[in-house]
Structure 1
Amino acid sequence: MHFSTLCIVSLAAGSALAAPVQPHESGGKEHIVIISNEQDLPTYVEEVLERLALNTSHPDVRQIYNNSAFRGFSANMKSHCLDLLANMSDINVVEEAVSVEGLVMKASLPERSDPAMQQRDGQYYATRSNAPWGLQSISTTSPVEGSTSAMDYTYSYANQDLGAGVDVYVLDTGIYTDHTIFGGRAKMIWSYDSQFTDLDGHGTHVSGTAAGAILGVASNANIFGVRALDANGGGWSSDVVAGIDFVIQQHDKRKSEAASNNFKGSVLSMSLASAGQVTAITQAVQAAVGAGVHACVAAGNSDVDACSASPASAGGSAGPAITVGAVDMNAKRASFSNYGSCVDVYAPGVDIISAWIGGTNMINQLSGTSMATPHVTGIVAYAMANATLAGNPALMKEWISMSALDIGDGILLANNGVKGGNSEGLLGFSKKAIEGNSGFVSTTSVPASTDGQTVAQSTPLKMARRPYSSGVYRSGLCRRNGVSRGSKDVWLCRAAKRGLTGLDNLVSDAEKLRHSIVDS
């Protein structure tokens, strides 16, 4: 999903908390305020608000950020409040809240075969048949050939945990938790408003790729929906920061209870992008990783340097997050995908089949770095079976890069380490994950067993259609133009228009799969 963003930051030193020169006046624009980490008292947010003639219950105060990694708030403020903040020495960020904007056929998925453990050179790995092409791509060294609409590919993995004990937080439009492929593992836990479901579909699709049965990478992980975007796929940067704040609080709570809940760690998945830098979002992502939360973020869909956008700029060689670009089935960078030094790895992001809203068996086929990101989110959750990787986001980020396939043209293609049954780099084999060890693989052998998925196979999944009619597009969406320039597809992107909600009638025309939605 694409987000238009302006970055307005005031980092000013001056006298400490001075008294307000005048009472607070309502009617100002919403701004995000992040307090310096040097001020770690839980009450410091209240003290700053008091100096602005505000308090936590004032109607102009929209969000309070109060976790172990950062503190702050968002509030509607006029210039006199902003002037006061500019003269407070312990304020890190003052930034205006901006808007963020985050095929089609009737199809029945074939029954999934229970995975059988296979042995090669004394090493064990499992395969899952009837998978979408993206899952084969991330678990093999060979090119993937065939139709992106088919469900006849093979997913290979070496660890039967498949994310068991890992919490995957999908910060997005919400999750349709009743969907068949989640098998009761998905739960909505936070929303910026009173809607605790997915009214758009994007968050459900992302969740299905990250951790859904049949269609997902880490199909035994817990899936938690953090709804920061609305039914039209848009939202505000202040709510994105508030969602991250909640994730850190939940991570700390789960970590404190790890002995009783089999908790292994947390992964934050953010399939959203901005048109420019948003310092508050970038700092919040950095703080989450600092608190021990692994973070996977989308590179963006503008075919530009990913370092120009947030949260993508929080990754790469200089950032702690894992920024993910998109490739097609031919392992070529998707023509819409952002690129550059802030991108850590690329993953399948064109014509990806995953869960959808509108019914417990609905699926949809979308394209974008939004679809690429949850593939890597799932790999991270899967790899957290290794306790050393689970407890060290920096080491996990390095393992993700080391396990990826260098296919040239600056593309590191994400891989779960199984590489089609090849024991080289296989998670679960031979080497212990310790800092300085380029193998980053555990010594634990994997017993033969099923993968624990609980999908009711008697219920067929059906493809939904969300077409592009003249002039009606969701914010930030793109579509193929049906023509090519050289070797690159041409994608048409349109500005936001409201009013396209829900699902249209199912159609059986397989050719309409060519008009895939692109989300970032």
Structure 2
Amino acid sequence: MKSVTFLSTSLILATIPSAFAIPTIKGVEARWVKSGAKSVQESNTNVAAAADAEQDYIVVLADDEKRPWPEVFKSMGWNTTETPAARSADGDDLLSFRAFETDEGESIQTFGTHMRAFTMTMKQSAGESVKALPNVAILEKDHKRAWAVMPRKAGSRPRNMPRSVIPDGQSLPQGFEITKRQAPGNSSAGEFLQQSTAPWNLQRVSSQGTVTSNGRRVTDLNFDYRFERKSGAGVDVYVVDSGFNFQHVDFGGRLKVLFSPAQDGGKDTIGHGTHTSGTVGSLTYGVAKNVNLFGIKVGDEAPTDSALVAGIETAIAQHNQRKTLPGFAGSVMSLSLGGPDLGQTLFAIMQRASQAGMHISVSAGNDNRDACGDFPAGFSRQIPLFSVGATDVNDNRATFSNFGPCVDIHAPGVDIVSTFNTGPQSVDSLMGTSMACPAVSGMIAAELALNPNLRLDPAGMKRHILSKGLPNVIKGTQGVTPGGFLMLNNDFPGNPAPRAGQRAR
């Protein structure tokens, strides 16, 4: 297994202290294989034959099951032969991917180093038998999920970004200037920048007041964003999504595709993953403009639970490698997707990521309902992650945004302009809690660069970000179950100062 040592060489660099020790990881309850346990073929089932349909399953082994895969499968009643396995997007075997075929011709895909699991298509009766085995911790259907993005507006088309905002070497790009304003809140003093070529959502998260249009369209790129110059330098952000346009100029070479189950190099065919990555950390559209971006592709239109688990396992594996390296500043994981089934497997892997010290931001969902029943927002009461609802330019709660006690905070999620997949300069406007989630991911990264004591403390970071949120500004909450009605904010005082010849914003 190769050690990945990608470090940021972005425009606005800062020196980051070394990492703290990792907390102890608690696994799922282990159950050993008992002598005399029945094999799959020997087990009885009450499932009627007519209803015994084949399903795609994901099976997670108990933590104490350490035997080689062929022995595990033999104990389950399968004689297997190993076949060529898939690899991660860049060729690294981060997860010990292996593939097997049973004597009956059924395919088994294994993965995982921290949480060993395999996927297989089998009848419901066989699935029930496997679930009953004492060396199996979890067996669930391999559900399909969906990106938390709304249908694109009529007439919305990708377009190219203005050339003027592309940086030239190591100088500040056009539209960026140093500001001598005092450091926000209790942050340590530093050098701050103001960007006049920003989309509206960046102005909103760095202002105390609602964004005013002053004749500007909501998709224009002439809003003002204020941020600390470190802006997430050294922080690793793992974007779990649909793929990535790593050739887009606005990433400046800081986006690396780490994993894709499709062996397609992490190509983004729909634009969703490129868009969310841009809001996290691209130069023009990003909250944290210096982060190391790692793309975890988990599918195109409908990612499966097994792909999610494999992708998140990849992120955990690299996080655990990189936390020992000089300059490690923390890890953030961004998931802009959801579904109605919570799932033990997904809970277990996300809990392990959090216990490993990874900070997690997820979309609240777009069904205008209580988020507590949806993955992954429903995990926010058990895991210290951020579940993010969406607002529009007038600070209204987006009518599609999920709500309730499992929503922690809101961020701009309507008419969000960011990088796209149709070319090296392409941009587009999308809306959804998918677009709000990466704003929080970027804010976590920005705060990690300023607060190294929170590097491996997700619960502490959650308290810190929520303490900066703006209360009593979100409108349209009448009749909606309370929860998370704070507006994401980086704690800059007042509103951006107008530039020469411009009205106040």
| TM-score computed with the length of structure 2 as normaliser | 0.74
Aligned runs of 1:56-455 on 2, under 5 Å?
A: 56-59=98-101, 60-68=106-114, 70-102=115-147, 103-104=156-157, 106=159, 108-109=161-162, 111=165, 112-120=174-182, 124=190, 125-146=192-213, 147-158=217-228, 160-196=229-265, 197-230=267-300, 233-256=301-324, 258-259=325-326, 262-315=327-380, 317-385=381-449, 386-407=451-472, 409=477, 410=482, 411-420=485-494
For the residue of structure 2 that corresponds to 1:143, the secondary structure is coil
- Which range moved further: 176-185 or 55-64? 55-64
Q: 1:54 to 1:157 in 2, by over 3 A?
A: farther
Deviations, residues 258-313 of structure 1 (Å, cap 9, x unaligned): 12xx2212111111110332332222212211111111111111111111110111
Aligned equivalent of 2:74, options 39, 50, 53 = 50
The answer to whether the Cα contact below 8 Å between 1:278 and 1:311 also exists between their aligned partners in 2 is no
In 1, Cα distance between the equivalents of 2:389 and 2:56?
Answer: 31
Q: Which runs of 4 or more aligned residues in structure 1 lie more than 6 Å from their structure 2 counterparts after TM superposition?
A: 11-15
Q: 1:62 to 1:306 in 2, by over 3 A?
A: farther
TM-superposed CA distance for 1:71, in Å, is 2.8
The answer to whether the Cα contact below 8 Å between 1:129 and 1:152 also exists between their aligned partners in 2 is yes
Corresponding position: 1:22 with 2:32:
no
Aligned runs of 1:452-463 on 2, under 5 Å?
A: none
TM-superposed CA distance for 1:119, in Å, is 3.0
Fraction of identical pairs, as percent: 34
RMSD after superposition: 2.7
For the residue of structure 1 that corresponds to 2:56, the secondary structure is strand
Deviations, residues 108-140 of structure 1 (Å, cap 9, x unaligned): 535432330313389553322210011111111
Q: 1:203 to 1:105 in 2, by over 3 A?
A: closer
Q: 1:82 to 1:370 in 2, by over 3 A?
A: same
For the residue of structure 2 that corresponds to 1:89, the secondary structure is coil
| TM-score computed with the length of structure 1 as normaliser | 0.72
TM-superposed CA distance for 1:415, in Å, is 1.2
For the residue of structure 2 that corresponds to 1:199, the secondary structure is coil
Unaligned 5+ residue runs, structure 2? 1-28, 44-52, 81-97, 148-155, 166-173, 497-505
The answer to whether the Cα contact below 8 Å between 1:282 and 1:313 also exists between their aligned partners in 2 is no
Amino acid of the structure 2 residue aligned with 1:22: Q
In 2, Cα distance between the equivalents of 1:252 and 1:54?
Answer: 34
TM-superposed CA distance for 1:106, in Å, is 4.8
In 2, Cα distance between the equivalents of 1:80 and 1:275?
Answer: 24
For the residue of structure 2 that corresponds to 1:57, the secondary structure is strand
Corresponding position: 1:31 with 2:57:
yes
TM-superposed CA distance for 1:165, in Å, is 1.1
The answer to whether the Cα contact below 8 Å between 1:114 and 1:128 also exists between their aligned partners in 2 is yes
Deviations, residues 467-500 of structure 1 (Å, cap 9, x unaligned): xxxxxxxxxxxxxxxxxxxxxxxxxxxxxxxxxx
For the residue of structure 1 that corresponds to 2:394, the secondary structure is coil
Amino acid of the structure 2 residue aligned with 1:198: D
In 2, Cα distance between the equivalents of 1:121 and 1:21?
Answer: 64
TM-superposed CA distance for 1:320, in Å, is 2.0
For the residue of structure 2 that corresponds to 1:104, the secondary structure is coil
TM-superposed CA distance for 1:419, in Å, is 4.3
For the residue of structure 2 that corresponds to 1:161, the secondary structure is coil
The answer to whether the Cα contact below 8 Å between 2:411 and 2:439 also exists between their aligned partners in 1 is yes
In 1, Cα distance between the equivalents of 2:30 and 2:322?
Answer: 36
Aligned length: 401
In 2, Cα distance between the equivalents of 1:214 and 1:137?
Answer: 15
For the residue of structure 2 that corresponds to 1:324, the secondary structure is strand
Q: 1:157 to 1:84 in 2, by over 3 A?
A: same
TM-superposed CA distance for 1:400, in Å, is 1.4
Amino acid of the structure 1 residue aligned with 2:459: A
Q: 1:42 to 1:266 in 2, by over 3 A?
A: farther
Q: 1:50 to 1:293 in 2, by over 3 A?
A: farther
In 2, Cα distance between the equivalents of 1:403 and 1:215?
Answer: 21
TM-superposed CA distance for 1:63, in Å, is 4.0
TM-superposed CA distance for 1:16, in Å, is 3.2
Unaligned 5+ residue runs, structure 1? 1-10, 423-520
- Which range moved further: 329-338 or 100-109? 100-109
Deviations, residues 176-227 of structure 1 (Å, cap 9, x unaligned): 1000100000111110111112111100000000000111011111111111
